[in-house]
């Protein structure tokens, strides 16, 4: 009888943090690394490095997985296995000859390493996720990647030789988010990616559960973002995704002043809904150049938006405000001939009731120019709907709003499942082992009797040993 190739899971990131999941599944000489982002930690908006010289800093602070075959050799410089072994405090770090990467969706904590990858590395992602990535590159948010991007569809199965992967789209607050089932020679492993039940496509989770049950998944890896002491005893009533843009429209109808809307532009489906609700409220939606480019590129390529009325309405509803020099991003915005009419702040303040302003956090200072000019008779409203900053208690933002008397409305409905929903999903799939991560408090997870494993950073498990351990 032929001996089965050894299957192994090695865990590096996202184990006790929200985001930055770095895991390698290996079978024989083939490895599959998921995801390729970074968690918050050593770097933020003020302390940062660019990809052309930053991968070393990421590796030496354990912000990137210590798998040398992932990265552009020109960016690695002199960093090698000896330095990584010292940083991780390990005598051995698994490396494989045939390496693949995977990006579940286009949020920073899942895709930020893309610009640092080597040119021949195969990286798998859903085609809608890649459409968003192309859009954020065009918008100047990120550099492009030299990796060999390979696109997948929901339900597609790819044969990697010693194992197969079945890609399954789930629901999150970004298009194309995809989990998977690994069909190995001896075991099956399911990865949920980031997911939620209160989105527009909750049925995808039912399909994911059904498929996991049918193949009798051995190991389930699930996100646990909302596992916190205050969430364990009462299932929260989440605002439905489809209601967010309705709340924005309600604000537009309740004031003759300006309405500022702060939505993460990568949530392109929500932006599409916002365009329609703005049109219904009789206003036009003012975007900065970067956001307009992102919408224009992504909306034209996203299969999930095919036939959406916002594709046509946007050409008349959207107006573009030139990005001020003081707020230009780190990378150039792609020069495009946009189908949207330009506008100036002087035009906006003449008739504030006619406009909603899509105001990203970096452009907050525009509030001064827009509020100090024009009519002061009716107050403006700021709708904060999951754009940065993610917290409703940001001191800087609230100071700007208080200074100019702008009413603040927090209208959040994030992309993550409630703890009770994670428990229900785990019980329905009934794996041998569940590994909760992408969480600050994974040990709070109630698995309803399914054995839980909490890997340590750098810990590597042979699959038979992991599944059979009592």
Measure CA 125 to chain center: 13
Report residue 374's pLDDT band, with 50, 70 and 90 as the boundaries: confident
pLDDT the model gives residue 330: 66
Give me the sign of the Cα torsion angle 442, 244, 237, 176.
Answer: negative
Residues contacting residue 55 through CB under 8 Å, at least 6 positions apart: 64, 71, 72, 75, 76, 113, 116
60-82 confidence digits (pLDDT tens) = 999 999 999 999 999 998 899 99
Does CATH number 3.40.50.720 belong to domain 7-231+416-468? no
Cα(134)–Cα(143) distance, rounded to whole angstroms?
A: 10
Q: Are 25 and 465 in contact (CB under 8 A)?
A: no
CB neighbour class for 247 (10 Å; exposed up to 12, middle 13-18, buried from 19): middle
Determine the average pLDDT of the residues in 198-227.
Answer: 96
What φ, ψ does residue 68 adopt, rounded to 5°?
-60, -30
Characterize 49-61 residue by residue with b for buried, 16 or more Cβ atoms within 10 angstroms of its Cβ, and e for exposed.
eebeebbbbbbbe
Q: Bigger pLDDT: 323 or 151?
A: 151
pLDDT the model gives residue 206: 96
**Same fold yes or no, 7-231+416-468 and 241-410:** no
Residues contacting residue 206 through CB under 8 Å, at least 6 positions apart: none
Q: Are 233 and 327 in contact (CB under 8 A)?
A: no
The residue assigned the tokens 């107006």 is: 319
> What are the helix (H) ranges across 127-234?
127-138, 203-215
Report residue 2's pLDDT band, with 50, 70 and 90 as the boundaries: very low
390-438 confidence digits (pLDDT tens) = 889 899 999 999 999 999 999 999 899 999 999 999 999 999 999 999 9
In this predicted structure, the answer to whether residue 162 has a pLDDT above a threshold of 60 is yes
pLDDT the model gives residue 405: 96
Single out the residue of 357, 295, 359, 350 nearest to residue 327, CA to CA: 359
Report residue 233's pLDDT band, with 50, 70 and 90 as the boundaries: confident
Q: Are 33 and 102 in contact (CB under 8 A)?
A: yes
308-364 confidence digits (pLDDT tens) = 999 999 999 999 998 766 555 667 888 889 999 999 999 999 999 999 999 999 999
Q: Tell me what the pLDDT averaged over the chain comes to.
A: 92
Cα(278)–Cα(236) distance, rounded to whole angstroms?
A: 29
381-385 and 219-223 beta bridge pairing: unpaired
Q: Are 315 and 361 in contact (CB under 8 A)?
A: no
Cα(165)–Cα(32) distance, rounded to whole angstroms?
A: 10
pLDDT the model gives residue 334: 86
The residue assigned the tokens 């399914």 is: 450
What φ, ψ does residue 8 adopt, rounded to 5°?
-145, 140
Is the pTM value of this prediction over 0.85? yes
3-state secondary structure (DSSP) of residue 71: strand
Cα(446)–Cα(14) distance, rounded to whole angstroms?
A: 19
Helix H or strand E encompassing 271: helix 268-280
pLDDT more than 90, % of the chain: 82
Single out the residue of 428, 465, 426 nearest to residue 442, CA to CA: 426
Q: Order of strands, edge to edge, in the sheet holding 22-27?
A: 148-152, 122-126, 98-102, 30-34, 22-27, 7-13, 460-462
Single out the residue of 349, 301, 344 nearest to residue 135, CA to CA: 301
pLDDT the model gives residue 326: 53
pLDDT the model gives residue 51: 57
**Residue-range domain boundaries for the chain:** 7-231+416-468, 241-410
Q: Which whole-number Å values give the CA distances from 432 to 15, 164, 221, 445, 467, in the listed order?
A: 19, 20, 11, 16, 6
Strands (E), 325-445: 341-342, 355-358, 381-385, 407-410, 433-437
Report residue 1's pLDDT band, with 50, 70 and 90 as the boundaries: very low
Residue 285 token pair? 């939606």
- What is the CATH number assigned to the segment(s) 241-410? 3.40.50.10710
Give me the sign of the Cα torsion angle 128, 133, 136, 138.
Answer: negative
255-268 confidence digits (pLDDT tens) = 999 999 999 999 99
């Amino acid at each position: 009888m032929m001996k089965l190739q050894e299957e192994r899971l090695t865990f590096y990131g996202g184990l006790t943090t929200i985001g930055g999941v770095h895991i390698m599944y290996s079978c024989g000489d083939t490895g599959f690394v998921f995801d390729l982002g970074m968690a918050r930690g050593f770097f933020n908006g003020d302390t940062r490095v660019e990809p052309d010289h930053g991968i070393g800093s990421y590796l030496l602070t354990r912000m990137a997985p210590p798998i040398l075959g992932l990265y552009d050799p020109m960016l690695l410089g002199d960093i090698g296995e000896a330095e990584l072994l010292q940083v991780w405090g390990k005598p051995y770090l698994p490396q494989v000859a045939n390496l693949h990467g995977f990006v579940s969706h286009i949020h920073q904590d899942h895709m930020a390493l893309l610009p640092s990858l080597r040119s021949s590395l195969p990286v798998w992602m859903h085609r809608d996720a890649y459409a968003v990535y192309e859009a954020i590159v065009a918008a100047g948010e990120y550099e492009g990647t030299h990796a060999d991007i390979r696109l997948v569809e929901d339900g597609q199965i790819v044969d990697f030789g010693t194992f197969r992967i079945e890609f399954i789209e789930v629901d999150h607050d970004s298009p194309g988010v995809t989990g998977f089932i690994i069909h190995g020679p001896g075991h099956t492993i399911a990865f949920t990616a980031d997911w939620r039940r209160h989105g527009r496509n909750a049925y995808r989770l039912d399909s994911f559960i059904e498929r996991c049950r049918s193949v009798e998944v051995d190991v389930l890896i699930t996100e646990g973002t909302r596992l916190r002491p205050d969430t364990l005893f009462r299932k929260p009533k989440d605002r439905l995704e489809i209601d967010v843009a309705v709340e924005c429209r309600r604000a537009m109808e309740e004031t003759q002043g300006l309405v500022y809307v702060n939505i993460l532009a990568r949530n392109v489906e929500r932006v599409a809904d916002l365009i329609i609700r703005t049109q219904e409220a009789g206003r036009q939606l003012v975007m900065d150049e970067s956001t307009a480019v992102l919408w224009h590129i992504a909306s034209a390529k996203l299969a999930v938006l095919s036939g959406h009325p916002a594709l046509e309405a946007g050409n008349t509803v959207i107006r573009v405000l030139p990005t001020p020099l003081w707020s230009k991003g780190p990378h150039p915005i792609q020069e495009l001939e946009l189908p949207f009419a330009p506008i100036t702040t002087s035009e906006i303040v003449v008739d504030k009731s006619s406009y909603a302003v899509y105001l990203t956090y970096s452009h907050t200072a525009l509030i001064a120019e827009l509020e100090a000019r024009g009519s002061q008779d009716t107050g403006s409203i700021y709708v904060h709907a999951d754009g940065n900053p993610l917290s409703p208690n940001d001191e800087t933002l609230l100071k700007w709003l208080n200074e100019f008397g702008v009413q603040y409305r927090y209208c959040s409905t994030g992309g993550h499942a409630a703890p009770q929903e994670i428990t229900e999903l785990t019980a329905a799939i009934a794996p041998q082992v569940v590994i909760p991560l992408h969480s600050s408090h994974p040990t709070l997870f109630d698995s309803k009797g399914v054995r839980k494993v909490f890997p340590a950073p750098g810990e590597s498990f042979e699959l038979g040993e992991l599944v059979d351990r009592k």
